Chains A and B, each alone.
Chain A
Amino acid sequence: MQRTKLETDKRSLLNRMHIDGWLLLGLLTLMSLGLCVIWSAGGKDLALIERQVIRLAFAIGVMVLLAQIPPGAFRRVSVFFYVSGLLMLIAVLAVGTVGKGAQRWLDLGFMRFQPSEIMKLAVPMMVAWYVSKFTLPTKLKDVFIGFVMVLVPTLLIAKQPDLGTSLLIASSGLFVIFLAGLSWKLIGFCTLAAGLFTPIMWLFLMQDYQKQRVLTFLNPESDPLGSGYHIIQSQIAIGSGGIEGKGWLQGTQSQLEFLPERHTDFIFSVFSEEFGFIGILALLALYLFIIIRGMLIAVRAQDAYSKLLAGSITLTFFVYVFVNMGMVSGLLPVVGVPLPLVSYGGTSMVTLMAGFGILMAISTQKRLLSR
């Protein structure tokens, strides 16, 4: 098939910039959709949109920047990245700033940031680095060491307490181990162990507010004006959207402010109310498109480290989607995970786009000699 000269030039431009076109298309579509929903959820606040656009631009910049780095470089800094992240987590617990009832922030004088965000990338990098040193599938001993690498930061973050992030970090590490060929027997055993661990977690590890969230999740109507209020209003918003939705800017639950956290964690409820079940199908298709593209990049990657890291980043992206939608629709307890690239907010967006930058680097920078 003949290509026109223009098309060839375009393609080559993206190639030269190490950008995966399909992935970029999916991400930009998602971001634009997000801005539309924020416009509605935020009460047509232009300042809010401006701030979000600036964040998105910055995040895209980070992605493009990381896409230029050869994947080998990520592998080489994995250990350093992980260890320094771990040290910062310990620092947070010791001297961190308290915000919203949790100790998550590290104040560096000129800026505040959450070390847990670094760990979202550092943990899969570290585990991928470790298991890719050896032949896959990973041996039991190395699986165990991998688990420890995942468990330590997970517990440190859970202690802050930040249940949502620790869940995301744990899964990002476990995905690497899974993709590296964790034996099915062990998976069965771990599932069983997790089941037994639940009551211990309830009794000794969970904070009161976390227990309350779980209880509310199990029966939101028990406290409709208190802790159950969020989830009930969210379900009303989603349910009243129906098949076709109430239309953009027409959602009564969101426009009349019955829905809490409209433009952040509960933005999916706003979307569902205004665009209905049809809108949800379209949104999920978009997410699925990005995930399939990510998994394709993982499978096509050149070395084990890149494959494992790319797969983990993609699957963790899905965990965001699943946990957020699950929690606002009452399937999961409310754990404070944003809807990726749609929710208003900065920190996690930059981390997500950094992950996609790594994916693009893996996708576009292949050494010719390996084939």
Chain B
Amino acid sequence: MPPRRIAIRDHTAEANLVARRAFMALILVGIMLLVLLNNLYKLQVTRYEDYQTRADGNRIKLLPVAPNRGLIYDRNGVLLAENRPVFRLEVIPEQVDNLDDTLSELASLLSIDADRLDDFRKDMASQRRFKPVALLGSMTEEQMALFAVNQHRFPGVSIEARLKRFYPYAEALTHVLGYVARINKRDLQKLAVEGQEANYAATHDIGKLGVEKYHEALLHGEVGYQEVEVNSRGKILRTLRFEPPTPGQDLILNIDIRLQQAAVKALEGQRGSVVMLDSRDGGVLAMYSNPSYDPNLFVHGISSKNYNALLANKNKPLINRATQGQYPPASTIKPHLALLGLEENVITPTSKMLDVGKYTLPNVSHTWRDHKATGHGYVDVTKAIVVSCDTFFYDLAYRLGIDRISDFMQQFGFGDYTGIDLYEEADGIMPSRGWKKAARNEPWYIGDTIIIGIGQSFWTATPLQLATSIMELANRGIHYHPRILRGELQPTGIELLPPNESEPLRINKQSNVDVVLHAMQEVVNDPVHGTARTAFKNTDYVSAGKTGTAQLFQIGEDEEYDEKKVAAHLRDNAMYVGYAPYDAPEVVVAVALENAGGGGSNAAPIARIMMDTYFNQAKETHAAN
């Protein structure tokens, strides 16, 4: 290999070459710096506002703040629903290292039972990620102390203080007040439809039943906002702005807690309900359905065990019997029928018929029996109401016909919702030809009409409907819709709602009403024949009413009804409707007891307790003033 030829290096030329290249490189550097600067200028100057907004969007978060729920008072200012601080044990499952270990350790430390743990796991599955799930809805002082000492062992578990609804009268008002409970998926869907999602962004509980549900919009209030600065992990560093929430409206109910408690006591051990209305405006003074249950259980999340027990209870405590119990009205509607007969001139105040204990029609083989086998003899309309003569009303119904009866009774509100401020209401059935065709696909038979006369034959009504209809009768046709809400407690004072009145009953002759109301007064006050005379002996006030005893089971034509032989759940329902004072009505009461027997001996005494309580109170108030 020949040795490489060594060129004589021209150092100056090389130096010049490198210098030229270095200069060019510097120019290139300058160009690239300009490209960089151009891009940075675009970011920092041209699009500055856009990025400034996005930087603020990163760090500033708007946190919703839940409003305090409105309080609920009775008509005398007694607190019925309040907000109390409770301490919950909350777990954020994603922040717990070993959930199973943590849960079992917590369970033994705080003595949490296995059912609660199961419920917790169910709740966890339906909860969004990184949201706290309650392990204990409310902690005792002891549990709080035990946890506080051991808190360091349980990352991701903490005690949270919250305002929770509390119902001091517990089961006494469940069916009226209802309760609030945690917002579930269905509630969320409903809120979305109503466009209320934002307003509920921080709210945990929503009215599920009763007044709490019906007046949710009033009670809830308006959400507030807290503008906070957060870091990238969502940790709040400081509050920039605070817009306080508007608390919910404090409500005043027509309920009088003393009357309500009288009803609770009177119904003890019975299945049934009491409704007491103020006949001057339709306000619900008392409404109780027995058995009831403690609504506070639902507020803190009822355990599956307790809930299943309530569902399985054959006495059905979850039902509000006053508005959802649909019973044959039985003889309680005889005054209404009598008024129709008088108005239609089918009978007169003095026309009489002979009751021999049974009713027959020509060419019909069936015999309809009176509750008194020997009959009541000659009866006019007054006596028919006072002794609750069946035969008289079989004949009256037959002569009126179902069409006239159905039309008239609908004016009293039978077969329709009363319009009370509760969603838990049944409409009952006011049978008609059309109804029977539609519901049963059967024609209307003459026999159906005859037993309509004693409030049977498919006819069902709720105790509230009965009370409302008697109120309309006592008010001589003025029709108020019953209402629980009395008014709102504003900073300026109490704002009362005007009575909710609708179209009155069409009455041709007021004297016809006099006849019927007088007869109802005799039911209570006739010392010999009145079916409620014993129950209302020696009252300080004069009341009027009507008893009812609804057969739940068909007795054969020749059989005697023997209470002892009939199964307990087929025994008669005891009903009573009444009002007082007779000459200037203030209150209306309806009582319905299931399988209790006769209305006069079982339901009427309860109505009396309610009226006595009302008038004693009025007297006390009067004396105090």
Contacts and interface: CB of A to CB of B under 8 A. Distances in A.
A304 B18 contact: yes
Given A237-B55, A238-B43, A311 B232 contact: no
Interface in A161-176: 175
Nearest to A277: B44
A173 B65 CA distance: 63
Nearest to A292: B26
Nearest to A235: B43
Contacts of B43: 235, 238-239, 329-330
A315 B233 CA distance: 40
B25 A311 contact: yes
Q: Interface residues of A: mostly helix, strand, loop or mixed?
A: helix
Nearest to A135: B7
Interface string B105-148: 00000000000000000000000000000000000000000000
A239 B55 CA distance: 9
B19 A136 contact: no
Nearest to A370: B11
Contacts of A175: 25
B22 A284 contact: no
Contacts of B40: 238, 272, 277, 280, 325, 329
Interface stretch (A14-22, A65-73, A251-259, A350-358): A251-259
Contact of A325 (B13, B36, B231): B36
B18 A308 contact: yes
A257 B44 contact: no
Contact of B18 (A179, A237, A239): A179
Nearest to A134: B7
Interface in B152-196: none
Interface in A241-256: 241-243, 252-253, 256
Interface in A216-243: 233, 235-243
A235 B51 contact: yes
Task: Report the contact-size class of chain A (Cβ under 8 Å from the partner).
Answer: 35 or more
Contacts of A233: 58
A278 to B, nearest CB: 10
Contact of A242 (B25, B29, B48): B48
Contacts of B48: 239-240, 242-243
B417 to A, nearest CB: 52
B493 to A, nearest CB: 49
A178 B52 CA distance: 43
B50 interface: yes
B18 A236 contact: no
A257 B231 contact: yes
A79 interface: no
Contacts of A318: 29, 32
Contacts of A194: none
B36 A326 contact: yes
A336 interface: no
B33 interface: yes
B44 A242 contact: yes
A75 to B, nearest CB: 15
Contact of A256 (B35, B36, B37, B229): B229
Contacts of B25: 175, 178-179, 295, 311, 315
Nearest to A322: B32
Given A136-B17, A240-B55, A242-B48, A256 B22 contact: no
Contacts of A311: 18, 21-22, 25
Contacts of A120: none
A256 B58 contact: yes
B41 interface: yes
B59 interface: yes
A331 B7 CA distance: 46
Interface in B297-332: none
Contacts of B41: 277
Nearest to A239: B51
A115 to B, nearest CB: 28
Interface in B1-52: 7, 9-10, 13-15, 17-19, 21-22, 25-26, 29, 32-33, 35-37, 39-41, 43-45, 47-48, 50-52
Interface string A34-67: 0000000000000000000000000000000000
B59 to A, nearest CB: 5
B54 interface: yes
Contacts of A242: 44-45, 48, 52
A276 interface: yes
Contacts of A243: 44-45, 48
A331 B39 contact: yes
B230 interface: yes
Interface of A: 134-137, 175, 178-181, 233, 235-243, 252-253, 256-258, 272, 276-277, 280-281, 284, 288, 291-292, 295, 298-299, 304, 307-308, 311, 315, 318, 322, 325-326, 329-331
Given A284-B36, A311-B21, A325-B40, 19 more contacts: A134-B7, A135-B7, A135-B14, A175-B25, A179-B25, A180-B17, A235-B51, A236-B51, A236-B54, A242-B45, A256-B59, A256-B231, A276-B44, A291-B26, A291-B29, A304-B14, A311-B22, A311-B25, A329-B36
Closest 7 CB pairs of A and B: A239-B51, A240-B55, A256-B231, A239-B43, A257-B232, A240-B51, A136-B14
